[in-house]
Amino acid sequence: MSQTKAALATEDSGFRRWRQAVWQRWLSRRIPPASILALSHRNVFILPSRTGWVFAALLLVMLLTAINYQNSLIYGLTFWLLSVGLTSMWLTFRNLSGLTLAAGQVQPVFCGETLQLPVQLHSRNWSAGLELGYPGHTPTEVTVAPDQTLTLTVALQTTQRGRLPVRRLRVQSRYPFGLYTAWSWVALNYPVIIYPQPVVSPISLSGGDELLAAEHAAPQLQENGDEPDGLRDYRPGDSLRRIAWKQSARTGELRTLEMTTDTGPACWFDWEALPGLDPEQRLSRLTAWVEDAAAQQWRYGLRLPGQVINPGQGEQHRRECLKALALWGSA
Amino acid sequence: MSTDTAIPGRSLLLVLLAFVSSLPAHMEYLPLWFWVPGILVIGWRAGVWLGYLHFPRLPARIIVLTLATLAVLVATGASLTLETSTAFLLATAFMKLLELARRRDAVVLLLLTLFIQATGFLYGQGILITLNGVLTVWLTAAAMLSVQAAHRRGVPENLPVFRHAAVLLLLALPLMLIAYLLFPRVGPLWSVPLQTESAFTGLSRSMSPGDISRLSESDRLAFRVTFSGSRPLREDLYWRALILSDYDGRAWHSEENPRLVELPERAADTDQGMYLYDIIAEPHGQSFLFSLAGVSPRTTGTGVTEEGLLARTSPLMQRLRYQAGSEISPAADILTSVERARYLALPGDNNPRTRQWARQLAEKHPGATGFALAIMRYYAAQNFVYTLNPPAYGPQDLDEMLFDVRRGFCAHFASGMVFAARAAGYPARIVTGYQGGEWSPEGYLTVRQYDAHAWTEIWTGERWQRFDPTAMVAPERISSGLEEALSQEGSFLQQNLLSPHRYRHVQWLNRLRQQMENMNYSWTRWVLSYDSSRQRSLLKDRFGIEDITRAVYLLAGSLVVVMVLASLILWWSQRPPRERPLLREWRLFKAQLVRYGLTVEAAESPPSLLRRVARQWPSLATQAQATAELAEACLYRPDGGDEDALARSLRALRRMLRPGTETAAARDVHKGTV
């Protein structure tokens, strides 16, 4: 008995999956992913909402009352409300039609964090009562005035490292009376990389002579004896500890000490240093190490199967390492 | 999605306002005390809003529900009538107020409000009620917008919901008008609970002498008449409604279900010698209609009874507009022996003095007419008093009235006269209806309940002749109306303090009342009386449509046209903006270059691209150089260049670039330099 039920359930979910797949295929033909999309009759859907159906039932009852009691005023009221209903279908559709959505620039995040995806909205007419949201997220509500451009962010919880897959954003409106729901599934392309979720674990370093050097060097590396090599202008991302405060105070402009250690000994973070873990766990730990090393301003390199990043330092290097970790294994 | 969020204060206020505005039409039939719990409930909800009270818990709600049910049953008399149903509807809506917490509840209440307003129209359709209905719809729409738009970013804090709602409602008017005119008006689909008869004021099928005076307390509208052609004198405005032929010793009754008789087809030229009139009758829950003597019907659905009264087959539950014609001097008729027996029946042996007096009078005055005139003279000579407050009469009521007390109302005098005539052997009957009415300056006659009247008809041998004893007692009643007739007694609308008719002597009040009545009359005549027969004639005269199904096609067609128009408007307002001529030329030019194999970089400036063109195709060099200079001027000169000239130049350049145009590379090959 319970087995049949389970079988039915799987069959049901199988059917559902199939239906979902067909729907997605159809959608991707109808509304292909793009970085900018204008909504029109081609890609806006509209159906009566639950309130709309109740309203329709009410109108039917009122019409029957008018017929049975031969009452002109009830006829009039019924037809007025009917025509308000039809007009508001047009208005609800217009809220979406003529709306242009464009994907904005996004900074990378770690997996598990919530992406705040900027969407730039522009409308040729009133787009009232818009609700934008990815499935499973609280929608953002907004109204766009004619020829107004505004940017708002839509939340998206990340669950997977790598390039952000194209997800469909639901844009809908029920304005003015909530009798209809007009909606579209907008696939906006965001060229953003999701880094693996960092999992903190004790750092174990690896790699020939560098290993030795690093073991000795690493703890003292940050502040110790390296003589400043020279001064250069402050660049965003420079550590506060490296700012030459005295000189900066004198000139009134921030100066940064340039260290000779930039070419000094380095540590290696190695895939092989984490035996017995599955790839995702290794990547997560490596990510945590990279973050840690970057915060401590070590020089570090990264060894992944099939990819080696030579030791380096700085924001650029960090991003390169994280990107390699994020995209590891994907073509 | 977000329908389960709480209702913000402003929206709540609007929702309550909309709801309250749908109630006035229901005050008509519900007792005043019914509203007390309603006001308490509204107060409770306001208390919740202000934070003093909580929503009632389930046990409290059950108690309130029970009380509400009881209240409805007591207020409407515990039977399935229209009043009971609508009162239950109201009670439900009031109950909903006690759980009006979320947006979804507000939407439900607003939909209920619309239905309450619709059912309110069953009880009244005057211009004030109509305006009230428009207000309700407006407030409901505004409240709906407010509820929908609450807590949205980008919506101004004080969204102009009233203006917005008004615009939306006005936008919907054209479609409404089309549907109102073209939707086929068919008869009732099934029988529905109707208003109880007590809800109507009007004549009843039986009359004991005190009945008519009760009607005189009411200033309600009975019907309105417009004459086309000649109008009768006021003294001849006897609107017949019922004939009371059966006497049971105390009260007079009419035949239960009068049969409508087939009338011979009338020739078209018989409008000669007839009064032609158009009546809008208020619903009175019975099948009789109002007409002058000698009537012939002019509207389908109405007919004439064997007694010569205008009537229809079903009770009049809605206002009805009909036409009729009446002969100015009715032709001779015959009386069958069965009828004769009925009009002579005088069961029992009460009022012996009247019987005897009548027989003596008949001996002195032979002939029906002579006898009737003698009685009329008796009424005129014996100082009878016309009063709304006659004393209570005993079992020998007519004896007392005629010989001792001599006070009474029209019903008393008519009863006395018919009784006497029958006692003397002359067929006679009481006719009830209305007498007189108020002529408006616009030329129509308004007849109200206090114009109700009873008079007699006596068979003269060849026709029924009207005799009105009241005219002998109180001539003012016939010549100018009830108010004049009661001026001595001062009892006109005595019980009806608020009636504007009581204050007819106050000039401005009277004018105001008359204007209001005028508007109501036009409203009824031109808008409300639009029914299936009127629809048929409109379709026939204006659109040449005979078949009602074609009206349905017309309706569907108009809907399609309106929808297509709306789509066109949307498309037009959202079409891409027109490209500037210069940009268009530039786009076409670049496309041309790509077609001829030149790679166009997005970042390249127009002048530099043009120079590249000049190098690529030597034969275009001059033109390309010139164009490049124009482009530079347009781009970089502070005062700007001549954009039109640039556009022209670009077009010329594009046209010069043809399949045969020689490239620099090819020329070099020719010259052998490579």
For B596-632, how does the pLDDT look when each residue is reduced to its tens digit (9 = 90+)? Answer: 888 877 778 888 888 888 888 888 888 888 888 888 8
CA triplet B647, B652, B653: central angle to 5 degrees?
95
Residue pairs between chains A and B whose CB atoms are closer than 8 Å = 160
Q: Does A153 touch chain B (CB under 8 A)?
A: no
Write out chain B residues lying below 8 Å of A73, CB-based: 121, 125, 129-130, 133, 528
Residue B2's pLDDT band (cuts 50, 70, 90): very low
Higher pLDDT, A221 or A251: A251
Q: Which residue, among B259, B454, B424, B452, has the nearest Cα to B343 in the 3D structure?
A: B424
Residues 233-252 of A with CB under 8 A from B: none
What pTM was estimated for this model as a whole? 0.72
Distance CA A287, CA B237 (A): 105
Contact B437, B445 (CB under 8 A): yes
**What would you measure as the largest C-alpha separation in chain A, in angstroms?**
101
**How many helices (H) does chain B have, and how many strands (E)?**
25, 17
Higher pLDDT, A331 or B64: B64
Higher pLDDT, A106 or A202: A106
Please confirm, yes or no, whether B468 is among the known catalytic residues: yes
Contact B627, B643 (CB under 8 A): no
Q: Does A158 touch chain B (CB under 8 A)?
A: no
The alpha-carbon gap from A302 to the nearest alpha carbon of chain B, in Å, equals: 37
Contact B85, B193 (CB under 8 A): yes
Residue A27's pLDDT band (cuts 50, 70, 90): confident
Q: Which residue, among B325, B239, B254, has the nearest Cα to B290 in the 3D structure?
A: B239
* Closest CA in chain A for residue B127: A73
3-class SS of residue B576: coil
Encode A261-279: b = buried (16+ Cβ within 10 Å), e = exposed.
Answer: beeebbbbbbbebbeeeee
Give the rounded distance of the alpha carbon of B480 from its chain centre. Answer: 32
Distance CA A264, CA A216 (A): 12
Instruction: Please write the tens of the pLDDT for every residue from B434-447.
Output: 998 888 888 889 99
Write out chain B residues lying below 8 Å of A62, CB-based: 114-115, 118
Least CB–CB distance from B188: residue in A54, A55, A68: A68
The alpha-carbon gap from B305 to the nearest alpha carbon of chain A, in Å, equals: 25
Q: Does A95 touch chain B (CB under 8 A)?
A: no
* Closest CA in chain B for residue A149: B154
Distance CA A149, CA B562 (A): 32
Cross-strand bridge partners of residue A307: A304
pLDDT of residue A63: 95
Cross-strand bridge partners of residue A301: A268
Q: Given an 8 Å threshold on Cβ–Cβ distance, is A70 in contact with B183?
A: no
Q: Given an 8 Å threshold on Cβ–Cβ distance, is A62 in contact with B573?
A: no
Q: Which residue, among B82, B62, B110, B335, has the nearest Cα to B193 in the 3D structure?
A: B82
Distance CA B483, CA B498 (A): 16
Per mean pLDDT, which of A138-142, A242-246, B271-275 is the most reliable?
A138-142
pLDDT of residue B201: 66
pLDDT of residue A217: 45
Contact B463, B332 (CB under 8 A): yes
* Closest CA in chain A for residue B142: A177
Distance CA B478, CA B453 (A): 10
Residues 116-135 of A with CB under 8 A from B: 124-125, 128-129, 131
B458 Cβ neighbours under 8 A, 6+ residues apart: B368, B369, B372, B418, B421, B426, B427, B428, B464, B465, B467
Percent of chain B with pLDDT over 70: 92
Q: Does A67 touch chain B (CB under 8 A)?
A: yes
B96 Cβ neighbours under 8 A, 6+ residues apart: B105, B108, B109, B112
Distance CA B177, CA A183 (A): 31
Burial (0-12, 13-18, 19+ Cβ within 10 Å), A59: buried
State the amino acid at position A109 in one-letter form.
Answer: V
pLDDT of residue A66: 92
Contact B435, B344 (CB under 8 A): no
**Substitution target from B570, B571, B573, B575 for chain A, most A beta carbons within 10 A:** B570
Distance CA B14, CA B161 (A): 10
**Substitution target from B11, B96, B102, B175 for chain A, most A beta carbons within 10 A:** B175
Please confirm, yes or no, whether B634 is among the known catalytic residues: no
Contact A324, A304 (CB under 8 A): yes
* Closest CA in chain A for residue B3: A178
Cα–Cα distances in angstroms (integers) from residue B626 to residues A42, B330, B590, B629, B653, in the given order:
45, 105, 17, 5, 10
Residue B116's pLDDT band (cuts 50, 70, 90): very high
Write out chain B residues lying below 8 Å of A58, CB-based: 111, 114-115
Other C-beta atoms closer than 10 Å to the C-beta of A135 total 11
Q: Given an 8 Å threshold on Cβ–Cβ distance, is A143 in contact with B151?
A: no
Q: Which residue, among B15, B16, B12, B75, has the nearest Cα to B42 in the 3D structure?
A: B16
Q: Given an 8 Å threshold on Cβ–Cβ distance, is A97 in contact with B164?
A: no
Q: Which H helix or E strand runs over B321?
A: strand B320-327
* Closest CA in chain B for residue A63: B118
The alpha-carbon gap from A86 to the nearest alpha carbon of chain B, in Å, equals: 8
Q: Does A76 touch chain B (CB under 8 A)?
A: yes
Q: Does A87 touch chain B (CB under 8 A)?
A: yes
Distance CA A160, CA A327 (A): 11
Q: Specify the long-range contacts of residues B331-336, CB closer than 8 Å, at least 24 apart.
A: B331/B294, B331/B463, B332/B462, B332/B463, B333/B462, B333/B463, B333/B464, B335/B427, B335/B459
Least CB–CB distance from B172: residue in A61, A69, A83: A83
| ipTM at complex level | 0.73
| Least confident window among A289-303, B144-158, B194-208, B296-310 | B144-158
Catalytic residue selected from B105, B410, B412, B634: B410
Least CB–CB distance from B527: residue in A64, A72, A91: A72
Contact B200, B122 (CB under 8 A): no
Question: What's the order of all strands across the beta sheet hosting A300-304?
Answer: A267-270, A300-304, A307-312
The dihedral sign for the CA sequence A53, A58, A59, A63? positive
Q: Which H helix or E strand runs over B459?
A: strand B452-459
Catalytic residue selected from B26, B284, B412, B453: B453
Q: Given an 8 Å threshold on Cβ–Cβ distance, is A178 in contact with B148?
A: yes
Write out chain B residues lying below 8 Å of A84, CB-based: 141, 168-169, 172
Q: Given an 8 Å threshold on Cβ–Cβ distance, is B118 in contact with A139?
A: no
Instruction: Please write the tens of the pLDDT for every residue from B369-411.
Output: 999 999 999 999 988 988 877 888 888 888 988 998 888 888 8
Cα–Cα distances in angstroms (integers) from residue B48 to residues B8, B17, B98, B380, in the given order:
12, 16, 9, 71
**Substitution target from B4, B171, B574 for chain A, most A beta carbons within 10 A:** B574
Percent of chain A with pLDDT over 70: 82
Q: Given an 8 Å threshold on Cβ–Cβ distance, is A79 in contact with B179?
A: yes
The alpha-carbon gap from B136 to the nearest alpha carbon of chain A, in Å, equals: 11
DSSP one-letter code for B448: E
Distance CA B436, CA B40 (A): 47
Is the pLDDT confidence value at B290 over 70?
Answer: yes
Q: Does A70 touch chain B (CB under 8 A)?
A: yes
Higher pLDDT, B244 or B578: B244
Q: Is the peptide bond before B576 cis (omega within 30 degrees of 0)?
A: no
Distance CA B468, CA B482 (A): 15
